[in-house]
Amino acid sequence: MPEATIGDVRIHYNDVGKGDPLLLIMGYGMPGDAWLGSLPFLQGFRAIYYDNRGTGLSDKPAGPYTIVQMADDAAGLLDHLGIARAHVYGVSMGGMIAQELVLRHSSKVRALVLGCTLCGGEHSKMGEPEVIETLIDVVRSMGRGDPAAWVDRQLPLLFTPEWIAANPAIRDMLIMMAPMLPPTPPETAQNAMAGLFGWTTYDRLPQITAPTLILHGDRDVIIPVENAQVLGTRIPGAEVHIVPGAGHGYPAQDPVGVHQLVTDFLHRH
C-alpha cells in the first residue's frame, strides 16, 4: 500500500500511468478513488491521486483540517515522490487546496486546473444552506446504511434533475461504486468544513503565475458558477470554460469533452 509520511500524517496515494506528472486533488470528504472515473480520459500523464487527511486510507488526526495543512500535504507528497514540478488539477475543496498549493509552493506547479471551486471569504458564494447541510450529511453517512439511499441523496447535489432523468445508469453506477469507496469517518465531515472558516485566496490570486484553466458547470448547486468568474478575473491570464447544463459533477456530464479540454490545456503547458 503506497503511502507517504508528511510531518506526522500518513497519506495514502496511487501513482499510475506514464508521462508528465499530474497531481489530482479530490474534494470535500471523498477519497482519492473518486478520480477513477477520470483516469481513462487522462492517458499520457503520470496521474497521482491520493486520500486527503481524514479520508480513505490516510491518517485521520484531530481537526480542524485547514486548507493550508492540506496544501502542504500535497506539496509533501510531491517531495516524497521526487517530483519537482507537476500539473495540478483540483476539484471543489480540492480546487481550494490547489490554489493554496500554487500560492505557497509556486515552483512545484507547472499548470493549474481548478474545477467547480471558489476562493473563499466574502467574495465567494456557497450553495443554499439546505444544500450544504445535505452535503455534510452525505459525507458524514458515507459507507453507512443502504448504498441506494446514500446515492439518492447525493445525486441532486452533483447533477441536474433533467440529466439524472435522462441518464438513469449514473445511479446504478454510483450504487455499485459506493461500497468500494473507503468510508469517511463522520468526524471528518466537520473537521474538513471547519478548516474553511476564515480561509480565502481572493487578495492573493493575482500572485498566481502558473497557466490556469477554470472549469465549472452553470447549474452547480453546491458552488454556484459565479465563483468561476471571480477566479477568472483575479488569476492573470486564466482561461474559463463553463459547461452548459452541468452541475457540480460536471466531468460526468460530458466526460470526453471536459477531459479533452483538460488534456489539451496541459499539453500546451
Segment 197-204 shows an average pLDDT of 95
Would you say residue 13 has pLDDT above 90? Answer: yes
Once rounded to an integer, what is the mean pLDDT over residues 38-51? Answer: 96
Q: Estimate to the nearest angstrom the gap between the alpha carbon of 10 and the chain centroid.
A: 20
What domains appear along the chain, each with residue ranges and CATH number?
3-268 (3.40.50.1820)
Asked if residue 1 has pLDDT above 70, the reply is no
pLDDT value, residue 177: 85
pLDDT tens-digit series, residues 92-136? 999 999 999 999 999 999 999 999 999 999 999 999 999 999 999
Nearest-5° angle of CA 66, CA 55, CA 79? 65
Q: How far is the C-alpha of 169 from the C-alpha of 237, rounded, in Å?
A: 38
Q: Is the pLDDT of residue 209 over 90?
A: yes
Q: Is the pLDDT of residue 89 over 90?
A: yes
Task: For residue 148, give the C-alpha cell.
Answer: 441506494
Percentage above 90 pLDDT, the chain: 83
Q: Alpha carbon of 37 to those of 2, 105, 107, 131, 255: distances in Å?
A: 20, 28, 29, 24, 9
Give tens-digit pLDDT for 141-194: 887 778 899 999 999 999 999 999 999 999 998 898 888 888 788 888 888 888
